[in-house]
Structure 1
Amino acid sequence: MRNLILLHGALGHHNIFNPYLETLSRYFKVHTPLFSGHGDTELPADEINIEKYNKELALYCKDRNLTDVFMLGHSMGGYIALCYALQFPENVNSIITLGTKFDWTEEQAVKESKMLNPDVILEKVPKYAQLLESQHGSKWRQLLPAVADLMIDLGKNPPLKNNLNIINNPVQIMVGDKDNMVTIEESVDAYRRLPNAKLAVLPDTKHPMDKVRPSLLLDLIKDFWNLS
């Protein structure tokens, strides 16, 4: 059976894919790894960054002898899937990204990272703090600044910035029309730079995975991968 890896975003969790597992399992053996520091995994003593997470994905595939892999990545998960394809194109069948930010600059990263203050989130968005604690346990307070540093590092050294044109694997770039983190313009730019890409803009769709309508996303997935 074909292998599909579902990759969550920064501060995300593999349970965001639960509404899709029953349907996707009809067509694939579905893998839902967790990046270190997320869920019940330990937060590394050293920093987390895109390179580290790409290595974790590579090790996950190597340990399970996964080749010709299908990948669907939400937000950061889509970025890492493309980084993996850049390094191991022979192991990737195709990729779908959803809500993946491509236009990373140092200024943008600093702006995004400032929103990841645990005390501010506890005060201003207590429901989100509760969600983070339910997904990542008490270490969510340490995970936030670690992800902030990841963003700043990504802003300084975005590995895909000048390399999208090298990725020849089939890719579908997807973005919600109401995504407040990822612009349609940067998604179109990425789509145009990828040699073998398609583009889908999801109507009335925000950035968080739980704001995406499963029926809409599943239809797009089935269309791209010719599932019937």
Structure 2
Amino acid sequence: MKPHLLVLHGAIGTSYQLRAIAEALSDHYTIHLYDFPGHGGQPIADAPFSIPFFSAAVADYIRTQQLEHLSIFGASMGGYVALHLAATQPSLVDRVITLGTKFHWDPVTALKETKMLQPALMKEKVPAFADSLEKMHAPADWKIVVEKTAEMMMEMGAKNPLQADDFKHITIPVLLLLGDRDRMVSFEETIQVYKLLPDAGFGVLPHTPHPAELVNAQLVAAIVLNHQSSKKPIAG
């Protein structure tokens, strides 16, 4: 029986953006593509968006689906949620792979990242992107998704949900991946977390920007599978 891989998308995104990566890994894993509440047509909850809220939603999904021996692949925010789950409910996940996950949050960073997360401004400046978000999240209102995401990021800037001690207590294998052309996530913040994690690997993807749908899926799959094989116990 193939092990399970739960795939988590980034902020204001959907699982559809990670289908190429999921397909590249499907021969080796039973794939579960997950959409966070309010994303990809899922109902928008009354509760504010937050990392703990999304982490709890993923935990509910894992328990409902009775997923065991589970690895989680999380892109951007999805990676942060996966690590939050590993820190707070370690029995639910065996391994985490992150791609382009932003770890450094403070008020200045949050303000920068939310500058364009204004529906009216997006409709004016990037109308094609706004239209794609409308289709992506229908029947949910994409504007609410964007506004709730901006509020979440501002809260993260005020208090980062994962602190240094949290990373130090994540004992499962973790692989941190980062594109060399990622303009949102720095090498410095990724390496800092890499050094805090007790059992971590770090990989750089060449010619790779932040959006997960622009990543070389076959390359990601090869790195993920190599990391998995290196963590298997040696019989003897």
**TM class by shorter-chain length?**
over 0.9
Residue equivalent to 1:49: 50
Counterpart amino acid of 1:191?
Y
Q: For residues 20-48 of structure 1, what are the alpha-carbon distances to aligned partners after superposition, in whole Å with 9 as ceiling and x for unaligned?
A: 33332211111111111101111122311
Residue equivalent to 1:202: 205
Matched, 1:143 2:168: no
CA contact under 8 A between 2:108 and 2:157: conserved in structure 1?
yes
Counterpart amino acid of 1:226?
S
**Structure 1: 5+ residue stretches without partners:** none
Q: For residues 163-194 of structure 1, what are the alpha-carbon distances to aligned partners after superposition, in whole Å with 9 as ceiling and x for unaligned?
A: 11110110011111111110011111111111
Residue equivalent to 2:179: 176
How far apart, in 2, do the equivalents of 1:85 and 1:92 lie?
Answer: 6
CA contact under 8 A between 1:67 and 1:90: conserved in structure 2?
no
Residue equivalent to 1:105: 106
For residue 198 of structure 1, report the CA deviation from its aligned partner. Answer: 0.5
How far apart, in 2, do the equivalents of 1:73 and 1:211 lie?
Answer: 15
Question: How many residue pairs end up in the alignment?
Answer: 227
For residue 87 of structure 1, report the CA deviation from its aligned partner. Answer: 1.5
Normalization by structure 2: what TM-score? Answer: 0.92
CA contact under 8 A between 1:102 and 1:161: conserved in structure 2?
no
Matched, 1:189 2:169: no
Residue equivalent to 2:225: 222
CA contact under 8 A between 1:54 and 1:83: conserved in structure 2?
yes
For residue 142 of structure 1, report the CA deviation from its aligned partner. Answer: 1.4
CA contact under 8 A between 1:68 and 1:90: conserved in structure 2?
no
How far apart, in 1, do the equivalents of 2:168 and 2:132 lie?
Answer: 37
How far apart, in 2, do the equivalents of 1:76 and 1:156 lie?
Answer: 17
Counterpart amino acid of 1:44?
A
SS at match of 1:186: helix
**Structure 2: 5+ residue stretches without partners:** 231-236
Matched, 1:66 2:67: yes
For residue 54 of structure 1, report the CA deviation from its aligned partner. Answer: 0.7
SS at match of 2:229: coil
Normalization by structure 1: what TM-score? Answer: 0.95
How far apart, in 2, do the equivalents of 1:4 and 1:114 lie?
Answer: 33
CA contact under 8 A between 2:20 and 2:213: conserved in structure 1?
no
Q: For residues 87-111 of structure 1, what are the alpha-carbon distances to aligned partners after superposition, in whole Å with 9 as ceiling and x for unaligned?
A: 1222221110000000011221122
Deviates more, 1:173-182 or 1:122-131: 122-131
SS at match of 1:173: strand
SS at match of 2:112: helix
What CA RMSD, in Å, does the superposition of the two structures yield over aligned residues?
Answer: 1.4
How far apart, in 2, do the equivalents of 1:52 and 1:128 lie?
Answer: 26
